Amino acid sequence: MTRKEKHENCDVLVSGGGVPGLTLAALLGSLGLRVTVIDPHPPQPLSAIHPDGRTAALMAGSVNILKSTGAWDQCAKYGAALETLAIVEQGSRHTKPVRADFRAGDAGLPCFGINIPNSTLRAAMAERCAGIRSVELLSGAVESFAADDFGITATLNDGTAIRARLLVGADGRNSKVREGGGINAWERAYGQKAITCLIRHSRPHGNISTEFHRPGGPFTIVPMPGQVSSIVWVEYDDDADAFMTLRRQDFEQALQDRTEGLLGTVHLETTPEAWPLKALRASALIAPRVALMAEAAHVVHPLGAQGLNLSLRDAATLAEEIADAARNGLDIGSHIILRQYEFRRRADILTRSLGTDNLTRMVSNDIGILRHLRRAGLKTVDGIPPLRRFAMHEGVTPGYDDSRLSRGEAL
């Protein structure tokens, strides 16, 4: 039988095999639910991965979610603990830089989170899914779909029809599922790009992540295992494009200048890549028999490292709603279950995306009054211990996250 003639059945069809989509698949598959994941770019095996420069700083709740998939042990060794977060507000001609160090130990935590390459995490999640009998990974893309009272039928780009009870759109910022479900999205282009790469350095990083606030955007150094760090360097488009055309030694000199001697001599470990930055928020997370998650539902600026953390909380909450429905013999794609998912995620997504958007506009400029406010704000948070502790706890365990998987409980 050719794939075109094949008519497959599953409980949940996940469009998009990025880290969040695969996390959902692994969680549901471990309960015996039949899950099909479809992606036009299937991940490489973990053994073939050479970490690229794009990493994700994952907070404790996200690590708990990943642990519950059973994939974390495979990839933990590729990550580094974030024990101190330092913020440096650049000075001007008349003022010195202001620096505030937030130590996890001061908040009674072993670390704020773990920084790990995206590609490694995705490969480990894919291997975990491949090891679960009820999870199938397919190469392809969803072209169209139609929902009815009993399920949803999706047609893939090779003509294969897949029948499921629920279709999950985890297919990234240009989501076809969002479009096909008729869900609008608010978008803002920042006119900035994030340049990412790994660097090797002569001085140890001491598990300190340092974020320099500069007029073009933040420049952030995030620890990796050994004397290696990942860089997230945000600049306005024209400047980012110009830096990307520099010869290797000139680019390394630019990195040397921006790391301000903190790490000694620095060398590139990976080829720099540039990521256009925008914000996006879908007007709804659900349509009939459709749920959106991760960047299909929300894209945030990398300042504050919220994107994948938010996305993993989507995966955990959706998995919990589906698991509870299945245990109670309910229809896992019904409106009432999807409404509950949307209700539980709304406040977390809204506060994080509005908060990050405001912070981005506050940080990426050189307007005098805003610079003074930033410096005063940083000094205030740094100087008042209860405020420091609140800021640290809110960053690690957000108040709006009610997922039991984030707390380390079972699905």
Ligand X SMILES: Cc1cc2nc3c(=O)[nH]c(=O)nc-3n(C[C@H](O)[C@H](O)[C@H](O)COP(=O)(O)OP(=O)(O)OC[C@H]3O[C@@H](n4cnc5c(N)ncnc54)[C@H](O)[C@@H]3O)c2cc1C
Binding site for ligand X (CB under 6 A): 15-21, 38-41, 54, 56-57, 118, 141-142, 170-172, 176, 194, 196, 232, 275, 294-295, 302, 305-309, 311
d(CA 119, CA 128): 14
212 φ, ψ (degrees, to nearest 5)? -95, 125
Residue with smaller CB distance to ligand X, 143 or 331: 143
CB of 358 to ligand X, least distance (A): 18
Beta strand ranges found along 149-272 (DSSP E): 152-156, 161-164, 166-169, 185-201, 208-214, 217-224, 228-236, 266-268
CB of 411 to ligand X, least distance (A): 20
Residue with smaller CB distance to ligand X, 29 or 43: 43
d(CA 56, CA 117): 6
d(CA 340, CA 331): 13
CB of 281 to ligand X, least distance (A): 13
d(CA 107, CA 367): 33
d(CA 164, CA 147): 9
Residue with smaller CB distance to ligand X, 20 or 61: 20
Pairing of strands 273-282, 185-201: antiparallel
Instruction: Supply 363's token pair.
Output: 């940080």
Q: Which amino acid, 219?
A: F
Residue with smaller CB distance to ligand X, 325 or 353: 353
Residue with smaller CB distance to ligand X, 325 or 341: 341
Closest-by-Cβ residue to ligand X is 18
CB of 55 to ligand X, least distance (A): 6
d(CA 25, CA 36): 8
CB of 142 to ligand X, least distance (A): 5
CB of 383 to ligand X, least distance (A): 27
Residue with smaller CB distance to ligand X, 122 or 371: 122
